[in-house]
Amino acid sequence: MNQPSLPCLMLTEIFLPTKGGTAVSFDDYFRRLGGKEVHIITADVPGAAEFDTQHPNSIHRLNLKRHPWLKPESTLMYAKFFLCSLRLALTRRMQAVFAGRGLPEGITAWAVGRLTGRKVLIYAHGEELTGWGRGGKFKAMRFALRHSDWVLSNSDFTRDTLIDLIGVKPERIAVVYPTVDAERFQPDLPHEDLLNNIGITKKQKLILSVGRLQRRKGFDNIIRALPKLIQEGLDTHYALIGIGEDQDHLLRLANELGVADRVHLLGHVSYEDLPRWYNACDIFAMPNRDINGDTEGFGMVYLEAAASGKPSVAGNTGGTGSAVADGETGLRVDGEQVEDIITALARLLSDPAQAEMMGHKGRERVLANFTHERRVQELRMLTLTAS
């Protein structure tokens, strides 16, 4: 049965066609919440005009570039967010104002919500809570989060951080885990051509990672693990999907360790091919670690792997414990310790039956707890009960 529409306003700097799991999730949630009476204010990015034409929601694109000659440099961005949001809130019927993060969206949503009598719900992802230092931006973010009707936490780790660091009242926090499209990401998709394209045979093993190429993801330590895995008789290759500032570092490291022919940096892959790459691998790995407060708030890629029937090796910091059930759907390790990563990778690569069992449990867990339909129903209920 179709749910009634939820007229609302969503402020988010990150939205499709910008790539990333957060953008995908926001797109799916708000499509399901309603049609043109759902208004999304977001950044104008390449490809937006074509994307918006077929979108069921009302998309409002703004130039949200920051200007170094302004102090603060985000002044115009905030002004544009606020004026567009206030105009829509005053002229459209809506029950709530959502914000994709505490800053820049959350403080704007709070102001508009209070001026127009709308409920305010702000998403919290984890990494942004610890990355602002303790200056003015941190204080503004903390104010917005502490004064919203609901804070939508993506993991238990993020919930604890909201309470301990930000000072949000526990009763105003709802743990709303990210979700995955279990029809798009599913087992048994054809993938032999992908393996052929990078020269891997069926007898060889493949580790897959997906994410921005940055140090905290732990991709460098997977490359460091490869020589030992090969020495142990595991004929292993490593495919990495994503772009980022660490690309040159990872290439140099692979060359220094003599495994450049086994490391495949794939950059962006097509929408259609991404689920097939999960099927092509034996295990998924992202052994994340904290670097100067920069941490993994959840890790949607672990859910994509689980939905595809693959086990994950994750770091034991941040919110990954909500995404990967240690010993059941994958293994969590100390992302700083290469030996621990080697042990976990070798355990799953050398025991296909165990890897398959964990992958099966992972998909069952996704279907039970991490579907879009379940999360949208939670958002509807929270909007109705926000005080």
Same fold, 8-179+371-385 and 192-369: yes
Both tokens of residue 77? 């961005």
SS3 305: helix
* Domain 192-369: CATH class, spelled out: alpha beta
316-330 burial code (b ≥16 CB/10 A, e <16): bbbbbbbbbbeeebb
Q: Note the pLDDT of residue 386.
A: 58
| Beta-bridge partners for 326 | 330
- Return all residues near 296 (Cβ < 8 A) that are at least 6 apart: 126, 127, 216, 217, 286, 288, 315, 317, 318, 319, 320
Q: Note the pLDDT of residue 1.
A: 44
If you write DSSP's letter for every residue of 270-295 in order, what string do you get?
Answer: -TTHHHHHHHH-SEEEE----BTTB-
Both tokens of residue 233? 């008789």
Q: Rounded mean pLDDT of 305-332?
A: 96
| pTM attached to this predicted model | 0.83
Would you place residue 45 in the very low, low, confident or very high pLDDT band (cuts 50, 70, 90)?
very high
For 112-158, the pLDDT digits (tens) are 999 999 999 999 998 888 876 788 889 999 999 999 999 999 999 99
Q: CA 42 to CA 11: how far, in whole Å?
A: 6
Q: CA 335 to CA 154: how far, in whole Å?
A: 21
Q: Note the pLDDT of residue 124.
A: 96
Both tokens of residue 76? 């115009």
Mean pLDDT across the chain: 94
Both tokens of residue 127? 């990494």
**In the predicted model, is pLDDT for residue 385 greater than 80?**
no
Q: How many CB atoms lie within 10 A of CB 351?
A: 12
**In the predicted model, is pLDDT for residue 304 greater than 90?**
yes
Q: CA 180 to CA 80: how far, in whole Å?
A: 32
Domain 8-179+371-385, what fold? Answer: Rossmann fold (3.40.50)
**In the predicted model, is pLDDT for residue 59 greater than 50?**
yes
Nearest alpha-carbon partner for 195 in 252, 301, 266, 257: 266
Q: CA 9 to CA 109: how far, in whole Å?
A: 9
Q: Note the pLDDT of residue 2.
A: 61
Domain ranges of the chain: 8-179+371-385, 192-369
- Return all residues near 94 (Cβ < 8 A) that are at least 6 apart: 7, 8, 9, 37, 39, 88, 118
DSSP annotation of 5: P
If you write DSSP's letter for every residue of 129-190 in order, what string do you get?
Answer: HHSSTTSHHHHHHHHHHHHSSEEEESSHHHHHHIIIII---GGGEEE------TTTS-S---
Nearest alpha-carbon partner for 299 in 102, 157, 108: 157
Would you place residue 57 in the very low, low, confident or very high pLDDT band (cuts 50, 70, 90)?
very high
For 247-276, the pLDDT digits (tens) are 999 999 999 999 999 999 999 999 899 999
